[in-house]
Structure 1
Amino acid sequence: MGARKYMLTIWSLGENLLFGGLTFGWALLVIILKDEGVYAGLCTASNTSENVSTTTPPIDSSEEYVQTCIAQERQLNLVFTVAVVVRALSGPFIGQLLYRRGVRATRIVMVICLSAGLLMIAFTSVDIPWLLFPGLTFMAVGGEALFSSNIQAAYLFQSGSSFVVSLMSGMFDASASVMLIIKIVYDRGVARLYSFLTMAGAFILLASISSIFFLPKTFFKDGEPVRYRKRSTPDVTVTAVSDGKVYQRRASITSAEFRSNIIPPLQHCVLSPVFLSHVLWFSILQLRWYFYLGAFNTWITLVSKGSEEQIHFFTDVSLYVQLCSVVMALVSGVVLGFERRRCSDKPTSIQRRLRPSLSLQAIACILAIVLSSVILVPSTDILYFVFIVAIALRTLIYGMGAAYIQMIFPVEYFGFLFGVLMCAGGVIGCFQYLLFVWMETNPISPQKVNIFLLVLTVISLIHPVHIWIICRRAAIKAANGERRVDKLENYDFLLRKRK
């Protein structure tokens, strides 16, 4: 199994890199769609301006300036919003499918959705622009199913699983760079239709090979696939006290009884404060990322004052920077692994399981605050810094979003809990479109929207502060020799290490 698990992991990483997060290359796809005139029919003289800043380009300037159509911008942003929200809302269903039917059934759904999405985008044209809605949505849902099934490979590793989760997330993020390749070949005369048809064919071939021959039918667990393990009825030590004396004896219990004593009920995990605060953290930061991505083209047009050359240049640069998400994922995985080793000798399971995620989740909040602050400066000089901060934030949002659940909760619940997390984030993500409409109401609205998001990102600090308080209380009680106290008993039961 040693060589096999590395082969499965490398293959899963490759799939994530090529097809997982294609939706996040939306900014480049928008440029292609605008160039082709998709939804340009919505533009009229009343909603088209020479450029967003309403400044007039110099007469003797050889630089080209774009015309910005508000109706077209809103329609394309609506396409993106619908896709990412439906992707998030599909999380619980994908999680249940993964939990009940395993990896192979989930991947069948993934192949159908992602290939259908690629084909619909391929055949989108000026005459049938509505294909963008189901196309991008299916592509987003298929990417989510791909990520959820491939991330199970992390459970093949008894040590370093959090590093694999972070690396998977980095590959998922870097897959947006595939859109950069499509734009490059589009600029050289290759039609979008042929690029997406090629991608669809390659995906169906590669995903079918891995689903049938490589990946297991069920899911991975504790260093071995479930199908290779034999569960036995364990013996336990039963302790009783009578007349002031302690008596112990060995007794056999059923597997169901053993399982109920080791793994907490699913509803306890979903309703636990450590999970709910994580949902709050994830939803706020994902909204910040969604708005940055959905309004990217409009924002770049504002900053560059409508210069077409600068719009294309900085959009390409942002995608090149996004390739660095793999490196950022490696760094975050190394840091998380270091934190887990550093906390492995803590006296309580609460500290051992919660404390390692604290620093990276706090850093994600700080990055979101920094992004919301520097983006208020309408200058091209800060764009490189903004791109780096945004990609680092994106890596930590999804990397820690998954790794946090993987570290704390049972493997059987990962798919469902991750789905609930994505679903809640999707509901909050609906407000991205409302923020985009608000941004376009008047020239000062973009500043107001970013100030509002700045306040929200400050609120996201509640989660790392909450974790710090729990770990601090646990440390104090352990130092005083008290094993349990009030609400910490529930946390200790929820986070108890499984044998």
Structure 2
Amino acid sequence: MGKVSLPLVQVICAITWCLFAAGPIFGFAALKPILIDQGVYAELCPHANIPTSLGTSTNVQVLKEVETGPCTAQDLKLNFMFTVGAGTTNIIALAVGYVLDVHGPRICGFIGSAFLTLGTLSLALSANIRTFDPYLAGYTLFAIGGPFVFISSFQLANSFPKKSGTILALLTGAFDSSSALFFFYRLFYQNWTPNLTLEKFFTGYLIVPAFILLCQIFIMPKESYKTLGAVEKLEVEGLDMDGNLPAGEDGSRIIPDETERQSLLSNPSSGIRPVLSANSRRKSVWENYVEAKLEKKTRGIFGAMHGRSASEQIKSPWFMLMLMFVVICMLRINYFVATVRSQEEYLLDDAALALKVNAIFDVALPLGGIISIPFIGMVLDHCSTLTALLIVSSISILIGFLGLIPSLVLNLLGIFLLVAYRPFYYTVVSDYCAKVFGFDTFGTVYGLLMCLSGVCNMGQSLLDNLTHTTFQMNPTPVNSILVTLTVIASSVLVYFTYWQSKVREEKMLVLQQASETTGNSPDTNLDQSGQYGSV
């Protein structure tokens, strides 16, 4: 039996902790009934509605969920806990990128483990904490710790360059599946171990941050961190940050045909036109070949803002329009996760049926990320950036319309589409950022995009309040507004991308014709003023 390599062990460890710690806060729909059963925030309700058996850590009576639900104040406070957590996990993305680039993945892992430990202790000792809100604090600390331990794992894609896509897919799948943590907790709590209180569950969970800490000390790589841009470039192009083949590669993965590969190496300028960008760095043969292919496949989108400073990129319509789209989509996703059961209760007018839909959603959410991985890869490998944006926009709009119809079948269809759409949406956004803005500024631009959308996501509490008070638990008005905004944001983004692709294709055609006339290679680099200039 062959010896197991250390890099393989490192990848297995990272996938394991991502399964338990990367994003469990998104399993809120499964955790919420347990929080209600154990009397979390029950003091906000009229005393007549608070069972005397609730609120203790040793004697918890499991209530019939169909018969007993939270009052408005309690429901809003629980949903606010998720809103803050979901917003924080995106806001912290920018800080995670900074720590990774400056201090490396091990420090990032230590920080993540520390936040997870503090969050776990806050929830485990919640019954005895009076000086602050232990539930809100604990959930927020979980939301901070998750991105630190998840994003710092991306560098492991460099361990096996030929399998970098597979490793990133496994890590992403583990992140999506981590929401199942609270689903299994609920399953055991309601069916076999009703005495598995928050105190007992989270005391046992302390083994997870301890495992992460030990892995960082004894197993994980100690060398300097490869930036997020480097990982993204390896995933998109199959090349390192210098545009060269990773160690152990012979170019067969990029150019399978040996004759074409040898022809390229012997005559680097043959049939290759550099990408239209502002990047003044002279590129390698492999880089020119790969990026020319990508520029053609994306219909001119690849390289649109490459070589520009981060500040220029952030001020551009490319960033602003994507930010508008991401904010709306994230609001819709997280609003549904927090309110799925109450929405279904109103639409279906059946509490028992809504409970079943909630249970189906709890199972479907972690499975969605795994099942959709092949579909995501197929779309990104075979479709242009414009087509990918059109698909993700169309699915988003369809999900929105299905959520407006009081039909069990259509609501379930919307849920199944949502759980598959969620990881697809995040992947398309990161792919867009890499191809449009480039890899040198990827960590800053993508981190800021997630951070700003996380800040705007705090507006979810306002939507929740409107639903509970102004609209008397009717989710249709809020969902109608969100769907309308989705149509507007996605239409403008898709049209702008289409328009720019046509403009850039025309420019490349003019340059190619000029080069054929003069017999020289086209000079497609842009200077910082946006005009064409020499290298």
Global fold match (TM > 0.5): yes
- C-alpha separation in 2, matches of 1:132 and 1:114: 13
Percent identity at matched positions?
Answer: 22
- C-alpha separation in 2, matches of 1:152 and 1:408: 22
CA contact (8 A) 2:346 2:474 kept: no
Q: 1:277: which partner in 2?
A: 321
Q: Cα gap change, 1:334/1:384 in structure 2, threshold over 3 Å: closer, same or farther?
A: same
- C-alpha separation in 2, matches of 1:483 and 1:14: 53
- Which of 12, 15, 18 in structure 1 is aligned with 2:14? 12
AA in 2 matched with 1:328: S
- C-alpha separation in 2, matches of 1:63 and 1:92: 40
Counterparts of 1:341-356 in structure 2 under 5 Å? 356=384
SS in 1 for 2:205: helix
SS in 2 for 1:365: helix
Q: Cα gap change, 1:169/1:314 in structure 2, threshold over 3 Å: closer, same or farther?
A: same
- C-alpha separation in 2, matches of 1:393 and 1:491: 38
Is structure 2 residue 402 aligned with structure 1 residue 374? yes
Q: 2:147: which partner in 1?
A: 144
Is structure 2 residue 71 aligned with structure 1 residue 69? yes
- C-alpha separation in 2, matches of 1:105 and 1:63: 43
Is structure 2 residue 462 aligned with structure 1 residue 434? yes
Q: 1:317: which partner in 2?
A: 360
Q: 1:91: which partner in 2?
A: 93
- Which of 451, 454, 457 in structure 2 is aligned with 1:423? 451
Q: What is the deviation of 1:108? A: 1.5
Show CA shifts across 1:267-320 (max 9, x none): 33433433333222222211111111122232133245463x434432221121
Is structure 2 residue 375 aligned with structure 1 residue 331? yes
The structure that is strand-richer by fraction is 1
Q: 2:424: which partner in 1?
A: 396
- C-alpha separation in 2, matches of 1:435 and 1:115: 32
Show CA shifts across 1:25-64 (max 9, x none): 001111100011111111128999xxxxxxxxxxxxx994
- C-alpha separation in 2, matches of 1:64 and 1:75: 20
Is structure 2 residue 230 aligned with structure 1 residue 186? no
Q: What is the deviation of 1:375? A: 1.0
CA contact (8 A) 1:37 1:126 kept: no
TM-score (norm 1): 0.76
SS in 2 for 1:378: coil
Q: Cα gap change, 1:3/1:474 in structure 2, threshold over 3 Å: closer, same or farther?
A: farther
Q: What is the deviation of 1:407? A: 4.2
CA contact (8 A) 1:120 1:135 kept: yes
CA contact (8 A) 2:430 2:446 kept: yes
TM-score (norm 2): 0.72
SS in 2 for 1:392: helix
- C-alpha separation in 2, matches of 1:283 and 1:63: 33
Q: What is the deviation of 1:120? A: 1.7
AA in 2 matched with 1:317: I
- C-alpha separation in 1, matches of 2:527 and 2:361: 42
Q: 1:475: which partner in 2?
A: 505
- C-alpha separation in 2, matches of 1:211 and 1:271: 41
Q: Cα gap change, 1:310/1:161 in structure 2, threshold over 3 Å: closer, same or farther?
A: same
Q: Cα gap change, 1:133/1:335 in structure 2, threshold over 3 Å: closer, same or farther?
A: same
RMSD: 3.6
CA contact (8 A) 2:14 2:153 kept: yes
Q: What is the deviation of 1:152? A: 3.1
- Which of 108, 115, 118 in structure 1 is aligned with 2:117? 115
Count residues with an aligned counterpart: 433
Q: Cα gap change, 1:444/1:292 in structure 2, threshold over 3 Å: closer, same or farther?
A: closer
Q: Cα gap change, 1:100/1:259 in structure 2, threshold over 3 Å: closer, same or farther?
A: farther
- C-alpha separation in 1, matches of 2:159 and 2:217: 17
CA contact (8 A) 2:119 2:137 kept: yes
Q: 1:170: which partner in 2?
A: 173
Show CA shifts across 1:334-379 (max 9, x none): 321334xxxxxxxxxxxxxxxx333233222112211211111223
- C-alpha separation in 1, matches of 2:348 and 2:47: 22
Higher relative contact order (CA 8 A, sep 6+): 1
Show CA shifts across 1:104-126 (max 9, x none): 12112111112221222233349
Q: What is the deviation of 1:7? A: 4.7
- C-alpha separation in 2, matches of 1:369 and 1:108: 40
Q: 1:361: which partner in 2?
A: 389
- C-alpha separation in 1, matches of 2:240 and 2:210: 25
- C-alpha separation in 1, matches of 2:368 and 2:527: 37
- C-alpha separation in 2, matches of 1:439 and 1:182: 29
Q: What is the deviation of 1:325? A: 1.6
Q: What is the deviation of 1:430? A: 1.6
Which shifted more, 172-181 or 63-72?
A: 63-72
CA contact (8 A) 2:471 2:477 kept: no
AA in 1 matched with 2:39: G
- C-alpha separation in 2, matches of 1:369 and 1:45: 43
Q: 2:136: which partner in 1?
A: 133
AA in 2 matched with 1:147: F
CA contact (8 A) 1:83 1:140 kept: yes
Q: What is the deviation of 1:132? A: 0.9
Which residues of structure 2 form unaligned runs of 5+?
51-63, 245-279, 284-305, 515-523
SS in 1 for 2:152: helix
